[in-house]
Structures are given as C-alpha cells and as structure tokens.
Amino acid sequence: MNLSELQKGQTGTISSFSDEEMSVKLMEMGCLPGEPVRVDYIAAFGDPMAVTVAGYQLSMRKSEAATIILTAID
C-alpha cells in the first residue's frame, strides 16, 4: 500500500519508495524508512494532503505520496 491510499487519521510506517528520484526529495524532508507517518488532512478532490512525519507536518501532492510505500497500516 502507498501513502496516497490512506484515509484521514490512518497511520503507516514508511518502508520504501517507488521512485528513486523522488525518494531523495522526500528523505530530505524527513520521510525516512522506518518513520511512522499519519494522514492529517486531505483537500477536496484528494490533492494535496497534509501528513505528520518525524514530528512535523508536511503538505504533499497525491502523486508524491503515491511513491511512498508503507507497511504496518493502522
């Protein structure tokens, strides 16, 4: 499952990335494998979304979130 598939309030753990180029940008923002990530807000039409990762909130496009592969979904 990827981050873009989660609903508001759901949490997952970052496992890997499906896009190597995008993964560099995401890791610079704190999205590291093993970090828990929670969906806090999804805008109308599903884009963008706000997530909490590494203790702070990020806003990202749905296309960016789709490259984050998750495990341990709650």
Using one digit for the tens of pLDDT, what is the confidence trace for 12-47? Answer: 999 999 999 999 999 999 899 999 999 999 999 889
Residue 8's pLDDT is 95
Could you tell me the domains of the chain?
A: 3-71 (2.30.30.90)
Q: How far apart are CA 9 and CA 12, in angstroms?
A: 10
Residue 30 CB contacts under 8 Å (≥ 6 apart), including other chains: 53, 54, 56, 58
State the DSSP H helix or E strand holding residue 21, giving kind and residue range, or none if neither. Answer: helix 20-28
- Quote the percentage of the chain above a pLDDT of 90: 85
